[in-house]
Amino acid sequence: MSADHFSGHAADYAKFRPGYPAALFDWIASQTAGHDLAWDCGCGNGQASVPLAERYARVVGTDLSARQVAEAAPHPRIEYRAAPAEASGLPDASCDLVAVAQALHWFDFERFHAEVKRVLKPGGVLAAWTYRLLRAEPEIDAVFADYYGRVLAPWWPPERKWVDDGYRTLPFPYTEIPAPAFEIRLQWTLEDLLAYLRTWTATRYLAQAEGRDPTLPLGEALRPIWGDGLREIVWPIALRAGRN
């Protein structure tokens, strides 16, 4: 991983980042012949580790950030470790699955893929996914698009381009498995949305540099449209899966 962008807000990340649908993990598990060991690489707070532990006998979750690992949800079948993506410490040919949730774009691709090929069993699977830009309703989306595309644009690390591209052009040296479409759907208040946006790397970098919270004017612009109730927020998931 090129840098640790997440240790400074590990608790907020654990609290405000959306989880993933059960159907995603059901499909991933259906692609692996064995279900003994899954490596959740870039596990963060364990949002993918816990669902994987419901489908695999053992899960090892690793993350570059020791503070993220410290916030991870405990589970009897999960072992969390602070470790870089390119050096898992796992034995050769030990994993049925390598899963990477919302993290592959931060890795050193050449070294990471070499590590994946080392630890995967023959025929084992790498599944890597990221969620795309959220959407709600047209009026909300228009205001949000200005925040993302104008206010935050100078503050994103260069690796963000892979997320914007939906991982389509990211190096992926495996036999590709066609994957169905998945999405996250949540009912959120405006405050839920703003808390989530404060965990974004670009939001935090802008706030640190200029000494202001850029989500405050965004909230003021959205409040007359949003009102006091819940709105459905949708994140399309970009998933790539491949066999070793």
Cβ-contact 65, 10 below 8 angstroms: yes
Compute the average pLDDT of residues 159-179: 96
Show the beta-strand stretches assigned E in the chain: 37-41, 58-63, 78-82, 95-101, 120-131, 175-177, 182-188, 231-243
First and final CA of the chain: distance in angstroms? 22
In a domain, 17, yes or no: yes
Give the integer Cα–Cα distance in Å for 151 and 217: 11
Domain of 234? 7-243
- 76: number of CA atoms within 13 Å, CB side? 1
In a domain, 145, yes or no: yes
In a domain, 27, yes or no: yes
Tokens representing residue 192 in the block:
């839920």
In a domain, 67, yes or no: yes
Give the integer Cα–Cα distance in Å for 193 and 5: 20
Share of the chain above pLDDT 70, in %: 94
Tokens representing residue 210 in the block:
């200029």
CATH number, domain at 101? Answer: 3.40.50.150
Compute the average pLDDT of residues 193-221: 96
Looking at the predicted structure, is the pLDDT value of residue 12 above 50? yes
Q: What is the pLDDT of residue 15?
A: 73
- Residue 155, CA distances (Å) to 10, 13, 177, 206, 211 in order: 20, 19, 34, 6, 14
Looking at the predicted structure, is the pLDDT value of residue 18 above 50? yes
In a domain, 2, yes or no: no
Tokens representing residue 64 in the block:
């570059």
- Summarize pLDDT for 80-112 with one digit per residue, the tens: 999 999 999 999 999 999 999 999 999 999 999
pTM beyond 0.85: the answer is: yes
Give the integer Cα–Cα distance in Å for 224 and 171: 43
Cβ-contact 37, 95 below 8 angstroms: yes
Instruction: Give pairs for 225-229: CB < 8 Å, separation 24+.
Output: 225/137, 225/139, 225/140, 225/143, 226/140, 226/190, 228/189, 229/189
In a domain, 1, yes or no: no
Number of domains making up the chain: 1
Find tokens 């989500």 and name the residue: 215
Q: What is the pLDDT of residue 14?
A: 60
Q: Average model confidence (pLDDT) for the chain?
A: 93
